[in-house]
Amino acid sequence: MPDINFIVGFIFLLGFLAFFLAFLGFIVFTFFRWRGREKDSVDSVLLRVLVPRTNEVKIDAMEQVFASLFSIKKGGWKQKFSFQPSIGFEIVAREGYINFYVFCPSRLKDLVEKQINGAYPDAEVVEVPEYNIFTDTGKVAYKAFQLRAENYKPIKTFKDLPVDPLSSITSVLAKMGEKEAAVIQILISPADSKWQKDGSHFISETKKRESDPEKAKFSVSGKTLEAVENKIGKPGFEVSIRAIVVSESSELAKMHLGNISGAFEQFSSEFNGFKSRKIYHKASFMEDFLYRYMPMFNILGNRPSILNSEELATIFHFPNRSITTPNIQWLNAKRAPAPSIVPEEGLFLGMSVFRGIKRRVCVSDDDRRRHIYIIGATGTGKSELLKQMMLQDMKEGKGICFIDPHDTVRQLLPLIPPERAEDVIYFNPADTERPMGLNLLEAKTEDEKHFVATSVINLMYKLFDPYKTGIVGPRFEHGVRNAMLTAMAEEGNTFIEVVRIMTDSRFTQELLPKVTDPMVRRYWTDQIAQTADFHKSEVLDYTVSKFGRFVTNRMMRNIIGQSKSSFSFRKVMDEGKILLIDLAKGELGEENSSFLGLILVPRILMAAMSRQDTPEEKRRDFYLYVDEFQNFATPDFAVILSEARKYRLNLCVANQFIGQMEEEVKNAVFGNVGTKIAFRVGVSDASYLAREFAPVFSEEDLLNIERFNAFVKTIVRNEPVPPFSIDTTKDMSEIKKQENPKVAQIIKEMSRLKYGRDVREVEAEIARRAKL
């Protein structure tokens, strides 16, 4: 008879072996099923999502996003041997900011972006590098959450809560201090229908039991059954929720983690809520967190948690204007795509970046003839954009003139292509050793003479009487006009002679025989001759006092006192030269800088209008760039904007705010300029420009747009297109590498030697002419 102990031992051994083999099979199958998860994690992208501060999209929209993402579920029998794709939704907090991220496989990036933008039309979804919250000395506290009751029982949703639940979560995260960080990670993966079947079974069994009077205990309320029915009626996701906190001390880390856990208590309902999930192996937990793995094993008290789309939207959604928590990173201004009609060839302005689609934004040569206006507060990127536009024109062999009251010209010089060095005329009034000549009175025809006189009078209004209070007035105009027309009767006369005419009657008498205009001659022979000496000196001395400050200034006198200008503006245009005018206020003084700019602008216009002797199709395009143009904007500027196109003088002007412009110039800018580019502006300008950029962009957008980003309203083939946004950001280190200080020095030396004159020679000539 067999030994009973042996038989029992043998059966026990067989049972243990069967259990061991089953357990080993389970382990092997689980690892086999999850075999591709590392590859899936590595081939994923991290998307940062920013929404505008004015976002009014409700939480329901996020429920729609989650419901749509259920479509990533894979079906078929093969899926039993693989895992469902997962997507991570994360809230990351550090000192000073809270960001919202989405982590998804690269193949799902397009779907995720479209679903987010579909629900949040103004959101910016950008792929970003992986973040790192850990430090060498930081202490880490961590926790995982799971449902405490059956998966078919619901937690509280946003419909049951009096305030946005995100407010409580972000308030906790906003308390991160220096060297502290926290992450709430929510991984979702489409669940199979078993949990819904369990819910349906629970409802049917309960109803069946309660319908029998003998067995009915009425332990389950109708409210519970309704809640379960509502939950299982929506798509469900297997969910893994983790919270990680890094701080200087373990106590602080645990405190912050406790606060996060407290925030999750708001989701506890009478049916379900969250509890801690047991973490048996710290290294495995951290690996799952970093790689965004769903838990591989759900054993020993841990089990899968399933939330439906409504519950997920309650826990994670993007903030709207009701969330007032500090440090949330908002999208400062809206984005809008460049219409497909906008050219990708021509003068490059920047990149249109919208919903992950990037395309070049350019302006054609024909549309540039309708001018470009750039506005933006200091430091927003205006001058950098001007610089890049000019460099493109230089590289393409085009003629340009740049009038600059700052130091942008000096930043531009080292970037000029060496092959164009000989084309450059660098006019630097601060170079007192070899001053270049600029004779304001150079005019060939009668029309040009009157144009010069008018532009100098406009200059005087701009400098001394911008509000037309009578400081200049008709009497002053009359005297200046006649003095200038008298001086222009003799070729080679300058401002020096204008002042002499008004102070030296003998010199005036010498010039009168050369004056051909009888009205100008009668001004001196009748009007002035018959005026008492007292009144004569009063009139003329008042006029001289306005001109005198420029003639008595040695630097200015050596420029405007030369009989012959160092270069012809007409030649500069026709030959496609590069004229760089350095009017740095720091060296010249604001008054001198404005005076020279106010002289130069009308002379350029006069040169352009003289091209009427050339057929329009043979006129070479010339580009005039003016930074802080309000300093040099007289009514002549309004003429350029309205008439210069036909003479192929194409403007690109920039300034900081609209209030700097006179009404006439402002009307000309907004009435005639084809392309308007707005960087960030002030309150009053935003109010004015909002009408230009409506309905695409609002006043709020114009006030908050990021640095180096701008809104553009342009024309294409002389037809307006809707406003859009551009990013003008450049790699400054790359631009720095292109700089060649030697080229800049050579250009300066070549220019001063070719166009400047020795100061002693200039002063000797002026002294001889002025009879000093």
pLDDT of residue 571: 94
Question: Rounded to whole angstroms, what are the CA distances from 428 to 403, 434, 751?
Answer: 11, 10, 10
Rounded (5°) CA angle 679-395-741: 85
pLDDT of residue 630: 81
Cβ-contact 681, 703 below 8 angstroms: yes
DSSP string, 144-177: EEEESS-TTS----TTT-SS-HHHHHHHHHTT--
Instruction: List the single range of 118-122, 153-157, 168-172, 663-667 with lowest mean pLDDT.
Output: 663-667
CB burial class (10 A; 0-12, 13-18, 19+) of residue 17?
A: exposed
Q: How far apart are CA 181 and CA 197, in angstroms?
A: 41
Q: Which two tokens stand for residue 35?
A: 């075999």
Q: How far apart are CA 143 and CA 684, in angstroms?
A: 50
Residues 6+ apart with CB under 8 A from 148: 272, 273, 274, 275
Q: How far apart are CA 47 and CA 124, in angstroms?
A: 10
pLDDT of residue 461: 78
Q: Which two tokens stand for residue 657?
A: 């705010």
Q: Which two tokens stand for residue 347?
A: 């003068």
Q: How far apart are CA 760 and CA 434, in angstroms?
A: 9
CB neighbours of residue 61 within 10 Å: 17
Q: How far apart are CA 491 and CA 224, in angstroms?
A: 103
Cβ-contact 347, 335 below 8 angstroms: no
pLDDT of residue 451: 84
Number of residues in the chain: 772
The closest of 696, 646, 644, 699 to 668, measured between CA atoms, is: 644
pLDDT of residue 19: 77
Q: How far apart are CA 503 and CA 286, in angstroms?
A: 90
pLDDT in tens, 669-687: 888 899 999 999 999 899 9
Place of tokens 């006092």: 545
Largest CA distance in the chain: 158
pLDDT of residue 350: 94
For 72, half-sphere exposure in the C-beta direction (CA atoms, 13 angstrom radius) is: 26
Place of tokens 């193949």: 107
Share of the chain above pLDDT 90, in %: 47
Place of tokens 């209070």: 469
Question: Would you say residue 292 has pLDDT above 60?
Answer: yes
Residues 6+ apart with CB under 8 A from 736: none
pLDDT mean across residues, the chain: 87
CB neighbours of residue 736 within 10 Å: 10
The closest of 637, 639, 628, 569 to 594, measured between CA atoms, is: 628
Q: How far apart are CA 301 and CA 317, in angstroms?
A: 30
Q: How far apart are CA 384 and CA 560, in angstroms?
A: 31
Q: How far apart are CA 441 and CA 402, in angstroms?
A: 22
Cβ-contact 256, 245 below 8 angstroms: yes
Instruction: List the single range of 93-107, 289-303, 561-575, 576-590 with lowest mean pLDDT.
Output: 289-303
pLDDT in tens, 208-242: 877 766 666 666 788 889 999 999 999 999 999 99
Residue that wins the pLDDT comparison between 208 and 704: 704
Q: Are strands 578-582 and 399-404 parallel, antiparallel or unpaired?
A: parallel
Q: How far apart are CA 447 and CA 496, in angstroms?
A: 22
pLDDT of residue 81: 63
Cβ-contact 102, 112 below 8 angstroms: yes
Cβ-contact 484, 441 below 8 angstroms: yes
Task: Compute and round to an integer the Cα radius of gyration of the chain.
Answer: 39
CB burial class (10 A; 0-12, 13-18, 19+) of residue 191?
A: buried
Instruction: Report the DSSP beta bridge partners of residue 652.
Output: 372, 625
Return the beta strands (E) in 419-574 as ranges: 424-427
pLDDT of residue 537: 63
Residue that wins the pLDDT comparison between 76 and 379: 379
Q: Quick one: CATH architecture of 36-315?
A: 3-Layer(aba) Sandwich (3.40)
Q: At 567, is the pLDDT very low, low, confident or very high (cuts 50, 70, 90)?
A: very high
Question: Would you say residue 396 has pLDDT above 90?
Answer: yes
Question: Would you say residue 534 has pLDDT above 60?
Answer: no
Cβ-contact 99, 330 below 8 angstroms: no
pLDDT of residue 74: 81
The closest of 311, 361, 310 to 335, measured between CA atoms, is: 361
Question: Rounded to whole angstroms, what are the CA distances from 77 to 40, 80, 81, 304?
Answer: 21, 6, 8, 21
Average pLDDT of the residues in 31-47: 79
Which pTM value belongs to this model?
A: 0.79
Give the H or E element holding residue 726.
Answer: strand 724-727
Residue 43: strand, helix, or coil: coil
Cβ-contact 312, 188 below 8 angstroms: yes
pLDDT of residue 645: 82
Q: Which two tokens stand for residue 206?
A: 């309960």
In the chain, the amino acid numbered 631 is: N
pLDDT of residue 311: 95
pLDDT in tens, 100-120: 999 999 999 999 999 999 999
Terminal C-alpha separation, the chain: 146
CA 496 to chain centre: 49
Question: Would you say residue 458 has pLDDT above 70?
Answer: yes
